[in-house]
Amino acid sequence: MGGRKAKIVRNTMFYSEDDFNFETQIGMDYIDEDMNQTVLVFQVDRTKSATIDIYGESEDEESIAYKEPVEINVILVVDKAVNKSYDKTQNLARYLQIGNLAFSVYTKTLTNNGIDISYGDYIGLQVTPDQMEYFVVTNDGRINFDNKHTMYGFKSFYRTVECAPADKNEFSGI
Amino acid sequence: MNLDKLDLNNKVEGVGRVNDIMFGLVDGKNIAPKAISYKDIDSEMENFVSTKLNVLFGGQQIKTFFFAQQRMSEFTKTWEMVDENKNILPNFKIVTRENNPKPGTMQGGFMNIPGDLYFNIGTFDKWDGENKITVTYKMKQPYCVDILYNIKFVTNRFNLINELNNKVNAAFKSKQAYLNVNGHFMPIVLEDVGDESDYDLDQRKIFVQNFQLKVSGYIINEEDIIVEENISRALLGIEIDTKRPSLVSKKNNNLIVEFPRKSRTVMTFKSDNDYHIIGVETSGSNILSYMIMVNGELVSNDFNLQKYDRVQVKIERENRNEFSTLNLIT
């Protein structure tokens, strides 16, 4: 972001940039080393992906181009799978829809890995040693200056990203 | 009903007709319409959706599944195209049927003829080597049903919706398409087009497009068709005894030789025993004169006959149109 740059000075009577950085580092250490929950971020390369001109949707599961996948440490929550059916008249063509994925990630984690997560990016979650499930980002949590996402109202320090399961013929990953 | 199949007006003549008679049934000739069950109509509807409304994705034809309520049904149809979570993968088409079809409107609301009457629908002849047999096909009037099918197209690509929508509208641009069920053509009408997609922003998005099709069909049960065979011509073997009935009889030990009206005037017979003839009685029996020969020799009125002697009696009649009797008195 260009333009004017201003230092955050609110709530600084008993709190400072150093305190913020210290507490952020404690949290990141806990997440990275103690919890060690990770997801794989597939940032879609929107210029290289093959899409149908007018609709901008991918032609097949191979046509989505993505940047080098990056594994990041997060705190994640996967909702319970839901028993659903495609035919709602007679409840036929049943399937077990994977629950949504939501994860919180330190903003600094993204910065350190040189990535950003955007709406429509794909997230890989290793659920078993030989199975990875893919999700598509439905809410990238980019606007994160609400109270919950700030440290004592000083500065925002993490993002909550929400994802919905992606079809295998939409994105096949790696 | 497909009346052309009956081929009633196509009369074969000459050698063709002979062959028809000779080989009528053995060549598999069958003028009766095939039976139609709900299963046949369902099967043809699945075929219609699969072939006439086919959509390609990645060079492959998108599959069509006819589902029933039993859970086994979904597994047996879709096991080939599920992911590691055993979930069926889009894109695909589903065919479901209204489970309890209503009485049909194909006859414009008119009901069937009351009673379980059988109607002649065609005949042909066959020859089984001895008999000419007329084979008659009869059937009951089929009953109509309106069957509603829901076609669901599950896809995650807008472009595929365009393709299917194009196929559907092209198929029904002239009001109705047709199912060919066992040779019977049944009209299909596009009743409704709907959208049951999931558009929830925070959930998985998937297109589910609905097309409701109504088939105006009819059902012919197998027992509604009967085949009757009746013999129309038979070659009868008659043995005729060419011997004339004996005109020589015995009465009171006399031998009576009869000459029917307009018959020949010479009667020849063999003696069946030994006789001594003492006279010949001809009075009042329409005989003017007579001559008797035994074994070729002329005899008088008193002569002997031995067994197997050949006797020839020749008379002259007064009136040829009257009966004559000559009595050899023993």
Answer yes or no: do A93 and B65 touch at CB < 8 A.
yes
Q: Chain B: which residues have CB within 8 Å of chain A?
A: 57-58, 65, 67, 69, 71, 74, 78, 83-92, 94, 96, 150, 152, 154, 156-159, 196, 201-206, 208
The predicted model scores a pTM of 0.69
Mean pLDDT of B3-15: 65
Give the per-residue pLDDT at B245: 57
Between A112 and B130, name the one with better pLDDT: A112
Answer yes or no: do A92 and B67 touch at CB < 8 A.
yes
User: In angstroms, rounded to a whole number, what is the distance separating the alpha carbons of residues B283 and B277?
Assistant: 17
State how far residue B9 is from chain A, nearest Cα, in angstroms. 48
Give the per-residue pLDDT at B9: 61
- What are the pLDDT digits (tens) for A82-118? 999 999 888 889 999 999 999 999 999 999 999 999 9
Answer yes or no: do A93 and B67 touch at CB < 8 A.
yes
Answer yes or no: do A92 and B58 touch at CB < 8 A.
no
Candidate from B57, B156, B158 with C-beta closest to A167: B156
Mean pLDDT of A144-163: 93
Give A147's DSSP letter: G
State how far residue A87 is from chain B, nearest Cα, in angstroms. 7
Instruction: Look at phi and psi of residue A48 and say left if phi exceeds 0, alpha if psi is from -120 to 50, else beta.
Output: alpha
Answer yes or no: do B204 and A165 touch at CB < 8 A.
yes
Give A168's DSSP letter: T
Amino acid letter for position B307: K
Give the per-residue pLDDT at B21: 59
- What are the pLDDT digits (tens) for B72-86? 888 888 888 888 888
Answer yes or no: do A52 and B159 touch at CB < 8 A.
yes
Residue B201: Cβ within 10 Å count: 9
Q: Is the pLDDT of residue A170 over 60?
A: yes
HEC per residue, chain B: CCHHHHCCCCCCCCHHHHHHHHHCCCCCCCCCCCCECHHHHHHHHHHHHHHCCCCEECCEECEEEECCCCHHHHHHHHHHHECCCCCECCCEEEEEECCCCEECCCCCCCCCCCCCCCEEEEEEEEECCCEEEEEEEEECCCEEEEEEEEEEEEECCHHHHHHHHHHHHHHCCCCEEEEEECCEEEEEEEEEEEECCECCCCCCCEEEEEEEEEEEEEEECHHHEEEEEEEEEECCCCCCCCCCCCCEEEECCEEEEEECCCCCCEEEEECCCCEEECEEECCCCCEEEEEEEECCEEECCCEEECCCCEEEEEEEECCCCCCEEEEEEC
Burial class (CB in 10 A: 0-12, 13-18, 19+), A151: middle
Between B325 and B215, name the one with better pLDDT: B215
For residue B25, what pLDDT band results from cuts at 50, 70 and 90?
A: very low
- Please list every residue in chain B whose beta carbon sits closer than 8 Å to the beta carbon of residue A100: 202-203
Candidate from B69, B85, B90 with C-beta closest to A96: B85
